[in-house]
Chain A
Amino acid sequence: MNATATIALEDRLRIDELYARYAACLDDGRFAEWPDFFTDECTYRIVPRENYDRGLPLATLSFESKGMLRDRVYAITETLFHEPYYQRHLVSGILAEPDDGGFRVRANYLVIRTKAGSLSEVYSAGRYLDHIVDDAGTLRFREKLCIFDSELIPNSLIYPL
């Protein structure tokens, strides 16, 4: 990212808070609220770093509208049979710069997974590359790209990152 572009301190605090609220939503398991972090026109993709680095278009999940996000929430809660787990998101190193009426943001994330009766484990390590816009006074994601380093997904990926 361009290190010379700066943003107002107030904007930086708003961005920090967006990531904190986003993490809290997922870590609390409030999945029904997850699509509201996005604008109506949006993209959300989870991509292995291998594919990203090599320019291969396949994503682990690739959603192109808020409707697709809602369909994922329905699958999580109603159709995908899985062993439930807790997520804990640690988001750090948020770098933001102004862009196109919003902000381009890069941030590191680490997700710890805990299943009932099991030890906590590192589940996914990666980075977000996001485009955030001010949507009538609320910051929302127009694009969210989760690029994970973890070469192997530990069995399955059910909840959003």
Chain B
Amino acid sequence: MDTLSRPIELDWEAGACAHVPYRLYTDPAIFARELERLFYRDHWCYVGLAAEIPNHGDFKRSAIGERAVVAVRARDGSINVVENRCAHRGVQFCQKAYGSTKTFVCPYHQWSYDLGGNLIGVPFRKGVRQGDRVNGGMPDDFALAEHGLTKLKVEVWNGVIFASFDHDVEPLRAFVGPEVGRYFERVFDGRELTILGYSRQRIPGNWKLMMENIKDPYHPGLLHTWFVTFGLWRADQESQMIVDGRGRHAAMVSRKNDGGRSDAVTAGVTSFKENMVLNDDRVLDVVVEPWWNGPTVTMLTLFPSLIVQQQVNSLSTRHIVPRGTGSFDFVWTHFGFANDDATMTRRRLRQANLFGPAGYVSADDGEVIEFSQRGYAQHGDLATVCELDGRGRGGADHNVTETLIRAMYGYYREVMEL
């Protein structure tokens, strides 16, 4: 029996998802199984945006779980994703974050690969002639075709690159499902994207806490002053909580209101600042875009690795890269559309002040995740409480709920066999 399938003893009431054991965030054996079953098998993970590698030979480094990968644009315009690990001695051959190349060459012994990951050159494969003899060389039965890079299965959905180490994974659209896929295609409808830039942070908390954060419509109007005060997200809004058929992906969809005092949602809420007035409100210069079709915010979680943000005029993908049980890297790629005029681009960039590691509504998400992780480390046998709006796992037509988190753990228990 291998390490990953060794039984994990966990005191978790069968079928219950309204309580999540702290050990899910701290136990290395559970984390190892998560990598295997959630990141490396049966799932599609985010790699990047096709607009990041527009030309033949362009590549970018990325990661799936704890494995480094490289996405590269092939000659025919298609995109390949290969593991960043030479077949020879395991070297992470690609050290540049971005670039353009004709081949991948491992620096250690110069093994070279084409952009599809096929091995095309091995120095001294036929040995080295010295006088009348030939020294070394690979065995006669050494076949280049058997020593390529690990090639991932790739799908590019309207400009967003997903890949899987598992070549038997179901098709991407079926994996996401129509309920959440509809909102994915609302943002990514095939329009050409423009990359505005990156933010990267390392958050000292378990990776699942970020999935939970964007499946948790309860906190934004309580933790984030800007959301409750200016009405960007709060409990009195028209909202839809949408979940896919398996419970793993979700969309939080809502429409902003004018904010201000409303006893039902602001009374006693210390983060609500009734008299707060911005000295310069260009940061909130929101302009409705025709493609919104109603909602002003849609936050998607595509389990296990991607969050897609549309919050008013600010758009980003947020990539979750786990780093052990207690840490993950969080990579934000802000983008706009090729047909944005300069004013819209400036607006998107100004609103980016709300997001990322320093953002008015995102900096404290990282902080509370760190504090949660510290709390979990204090006990091995306790569990979180996740009972807002009952113990069910369906969708909801309001945002006073933790149903999406329960849905995720329903799916998680099934796949993880916990």
Contacts and interface: CB of A to CB of B under 8 A. Distances in A.
The yes or no verdict on A and B being binding partners is yes
Interface of A: 46, 48, 50-51, 54, 56-68, 70-71, 74-75, 78-83, 151-158
Contacts of B102: none
Given A79-B225, A155-B203, A158-B358, A64 B367 contact: no
A58 B200 contact: no
B350 A62 contact: yes
Contact of B271 (A60, A65, A70, A79): A79
18 contacts: A48-B199, A57-B197, A57-B345, A61-B358, A62-B352, A64-B350, A65-B279, A67-B280, A71-B279, A71-B280, A74-B276, A82-B363, A83-B370, A151-B200, A152-B329, A153-B358, A156-B367, A158-B358
Contact of B201 (A46, A68, A155, A158): A155
Interface in B331-357: 334, 345, 349-350, 352-353, 356-357
Interface in B23-81: none
Contacts of B202: 152-155
Given A62-B352, A78-B273, A70 B279 contact: yes
Interface residues of B, number: 41
A63 B278 CA distance: 13
Given A58-B196, A58-B349, A154-B201, 17 more contacts: A50-B197, A57-B196, A59-B349, A59-B352, A60-B356, A60-B357, A60-B358, A64-B350, A65-B280, A67-B279, A67-B280, A80-B364, A152-B329, A155-B367, A156-B364, A157-B357, A158-B363
Chain B interface SS verdict (over half): mixed
A157 B358 contact: yes
Nearest to A161: B358
A74 B275 CA distance: 12
Contacts of B345: 57
Given A68-B279, A81-B223, A83-B367, A60 B273 contact: no
B410 interface: no
Contacts of B329: 152
A91 B260 CA distance: 43
Nearest to B327: A155
B360 A80 contact: yes
Contact of B363 (A58, A64, A80): A80
B128 interface: no
A161 B45 CA distance: 35
B366 interface: yes
A62 B273 contact: no
